[in-house]
């Protein structure tokens, strides 16, 4: 039953197309009848009675055949297959080609049937018919345009339409502007364009004035009563975008952007592709760049296992790895929904070209992770499985130890036993001088990696440490978005709290490059630029959503959560800093420790966590002296 409706809809669409085609076909026949009669009429001084009878009889004899020939040629050139709402110059050029064939056919019929007609009959007839045939095809678009303009003018008078400013008068802005003017479903009226090219200022694009450069955004937004701004500059640098958005947020208008330059290449520049401004647009720095050729060589033909493959970082790792022709990609996750989603996404995209295995299981299960390593023998392991939410882990510290610490230890041991070439741990800047159990557990994971590297002859163990990831599950930006949509308040823990931020693709790029640089024991750190105040982030998002902070949307300060710091650090003092070929990636040197003592403490911690010991934080502090619970 569920399949009947789409079939009916398809039949309805097909019938609509057939009806339109028949209407145009009939119009084409009438055009041929009229055009060549008009040619005779013009030739003989526009007097019907002045047309000689033999010429009129020849016209009646040949015109049915020319109608058939015309329709057949038009079918051959698919002139009945166009979508009438979007007829353009392409159809005109196709019509010219069709008419070249028609002229040849008319010449052939003249000699085959030995027609004796005035030369002006052919000249005027072909000219009139061509003009009318083109007019028929553009008439629907013209009528639709007039109807749209009338409809929109009524909406303008009723005050139902929002005034829109477009920033960027290039290719993207041009396409977007045309769609906004044509689409009646968008209750938006483009009223002005901003472009930094002084040669464009004072001119018009589709009737919309280009009123100045970015320095005029605030003034013109007020002058034109702009309610929404669209940033149509997909090729602009991150620094330019940041500067423009910083100006836009003072207008009180909602700001949206095009997703990226690839939209131009794909021809996907349209209103439906617009997105709200993200904090990534305000970071104002170029994304991290990696040597794709080297990464490609490293991943191609390798068997690669990603633990936590259904999570934010894990799923992006899977996407980028799948694009580099691995021998086999293994997704391993305990959360079946996340694993299923990335599995289906990759299956749709790569189908049989990707050897994909999706496994459900826990890194805490020694037998399960050992059997997976033994069966698939991966060359590279990316260990992204972890509990990461700071407040939740404060309330369930034993679970953080079981999953983060023991899960890492068991996975690393299994990897070494299976002869894995490279093992990459996903870590966090919260592991540096931690004040929360989650950060402390990740610091122990880093220590495990460095211990395992010293003990393993075949496997290079490394860790990658980065800050907050924009857009990841549970990150602050989606929370702010939801709170703004609900009308507030937007909750910020502390007015002075700051964080380093990076995008998910940046984080994954760092992880991939780290695996290429890995020699064993390193902790790779990304230079994430200047830290961002969370309070400023919240206020900017409110402004760019078209609201005024503390007026339309309230900001509520809730206080630091248990284990939360005002700022995060990237390196401990004793780790030092080494550079790499990528100037944004640094290496913290391994810290010396007693591996036997550490291994013994891990075993004790494992037993303590199983019993839900309330002193678990105290035991963790013995292993991580820099862990200061509750410190700010």
CA torsion 334-338-341-346 (nearest 10°) is -70
Do the strands 523-526 and 585-588 form a parallel or antiparallel pair, or are they unpaired? antiparallel
Which residues lie below 8 Å from residue 412, measured CB to CB, with a gap of 6+?
A: 383, 423, 425, 448, 449, 452, 461
Q: Any idea what DSSP says for residue 188?
A: E
Q: What counts of helices (H) and strands (E) characterise the chain? A: 21, 22
Q: Are 472 and 384 in contact (CB under 8 A)?
A: no
Tell me the DSSP string of 201-261: TT-EETTEEEEE-GGGHHHHHHHTT--EEEE--TTS-HHHHHHHHHHHTTTT-EEEE---T
What is the token pair recorded at 10?
């398809």
Dist CA 571 CA 585 (whole Å): 13
3-state secondary structure of 381: strand
Q: How many angstroms separate the CA atoms of 245 and 240, rounded?
A: 9
Tokens for 335? 């959360």
Active-site residue (options: 249, 388, 410, 430): 430
Q: DSSP readout, 136-170?
A: HHHHHHHHHHHHHHHHHHHHHHHT--EEEEEE--S
Q: Counting every residue, how long is the chain?
A: 632
CA 329/CA 315 separation, integer angstroms: 12
Separation in Å, CA 99 to CA 40, 72, 83, 228: 20, 12, 21, 47
3-state secondary structure of 378: coil
Tokens 């005034």 label which residue?
Answer: 163
Continuous segment of H or E residues that includes residue 189 = strand 188-194
300 included as an active-site residue: no
Looking up tokens 């309070």 gives 535
Distance CA 468, CA 566 (A): 14
Angle subtended at Cα 391 by Cα 386 and Cα 397, rounded to the nearest 5 degrees: 60
> Count of CB atoms within 10 A of residue 171's CB?
13
- Tokens representing residue 500 in the block: 């380093």
Q: What Rg do the C-alpha atoms of the chain give, in angstroms?
A: 34
Q: Please state, in angstroms and rounded to a whole number, the distance separating the CA atoms of residues 623 and 632.
A: 20
Report the distance separating Cα 632 and Cα 434, nearest Å: 10
Q: Which element (helix H / strand E) includes 125?
A: helix 119-158
Going by their DSSP bridges, the two strands 275-276 and 585-588 should be labelled as unpaired
Active site residues: 430
């Amino acid at each position: 039953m569920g399949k009947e409706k789409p079939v009916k809809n398809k039949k309805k669409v097909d019938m609509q197309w057939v009806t339109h085609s028949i209407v145009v076909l009939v119009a084409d026949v009438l055009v041929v009848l009229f055009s060549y009669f008009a040619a005779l009429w013009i030739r003989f001084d526009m007097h019907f009675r002045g047309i000689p009878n033999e010429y009129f009889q020849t016209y009646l004899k040949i015109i049915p055949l020319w109608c058939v020939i015309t329709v057949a040629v038009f079918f051959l050139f698919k002139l009945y297959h166009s979508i009438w709402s979007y007829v353009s110059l392409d159809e005109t050029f196709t019509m010219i080609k069709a008419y070249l064939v028609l002229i040849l056919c008319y010449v052939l019929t003249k000699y085959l049937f030995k027609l004796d007609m005035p030369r002006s009959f052919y000249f005027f007839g072909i000219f009139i018919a061509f003009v009318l045939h083109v007019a028929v095809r553009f008439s629907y678009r013209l009528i639709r345009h007039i109807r749209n303009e009338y409809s929109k003018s009524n909406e303008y008078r009723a005050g139902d339409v929002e005034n829109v400013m477009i920033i960027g008068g290039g290719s993207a802005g041009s396409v977007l502007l045309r769609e906004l003017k044509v689409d009646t479903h968008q209750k938006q009226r483009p009223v002005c364009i901003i472009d930094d090219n002084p040669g464009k200022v004072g001119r018009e694009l589709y009737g919309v004035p280009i009123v100045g450069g970015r320095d005029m955004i605030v003034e013109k937004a007020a002058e034109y009563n702009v309610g929404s701004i669209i940033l149509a500059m997909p090729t602009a640098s991150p620094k330019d975008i940041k500067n423009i958005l910083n100006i836009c947020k003072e207008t009180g208008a909602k700001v949206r952007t095009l997703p990226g330059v690839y939209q131009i290449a794909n021809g996907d520049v349209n209103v439906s592709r617009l997105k709200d401004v993200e904090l990534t647009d305000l970071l104002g720095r170029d994304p991290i760049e990696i040597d794709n050729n080297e990464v490609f060589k490293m991943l191609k033909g390798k068997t690669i296992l990603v633990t936590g493959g259904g999570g934010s970082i894990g799923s992006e790792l899977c996407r980028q790895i799948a694009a580099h022709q691995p021998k086999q990609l293994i997704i391993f996750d305990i959360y079946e929904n996340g694993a299923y989603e990335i599995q289906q996404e990759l299956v749709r995209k790569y189908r049989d070209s990707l050897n994909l295995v999706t496994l459900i299981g826990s890194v805490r299960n020694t037998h399960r992770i050992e059997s997976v390593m033994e069966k698939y023998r991966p060359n590279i392991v990316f260990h992204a499985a972890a509990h990461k939410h700071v407040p939740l882990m404060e309330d369930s510290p034993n679970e953080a130890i079981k999953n983060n610490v023991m899960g890492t230890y068991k996975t690393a041991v299994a990897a070494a036993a299976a002869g894995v070439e490279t093992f990459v741990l996903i870590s966090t800047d919260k592991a540096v001088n931690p004040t929360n159990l989650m950060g402390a557990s990740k610091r122990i994971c880093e220590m495990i990696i460095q211990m395992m590297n010293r003990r393993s002859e075949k496997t290079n163990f490394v860790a990658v440490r980065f800050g907050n990831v924009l857009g990841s599950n549970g990150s602050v930006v989606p929370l702010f978005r939801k709170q703004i949509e609900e009308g507030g308040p937007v909750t910020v823990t502390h007015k002075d709290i700051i964080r380093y931020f990076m995008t998910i693709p940046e984080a994954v790029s760092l992880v991939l490059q780290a695996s290429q640089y890995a020699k064993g024991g390193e902790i790779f750190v990304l230079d994430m630029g200047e830290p961002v105040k969370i309070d400023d982030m919240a206020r900017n998002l409110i402004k760019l959503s078209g609201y005024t902070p503390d007026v339309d949307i309230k900001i509520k300060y809730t206080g630091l959560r248990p284990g939360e710091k005002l700022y995060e650090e990237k390196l401990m003092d004793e780790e030092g800093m080494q550079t790499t070929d990528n100037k944004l990636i640094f290496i913290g040197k391994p810290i010396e420790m007693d591996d036997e003592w550490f291994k013994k403490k891990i075993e004790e911690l494992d037993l303590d966590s199983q019993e839900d010991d309330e002193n678990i934080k105290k035991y963790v502090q013995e292993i991580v002296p820099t862990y200061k619970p509750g410190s700010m």
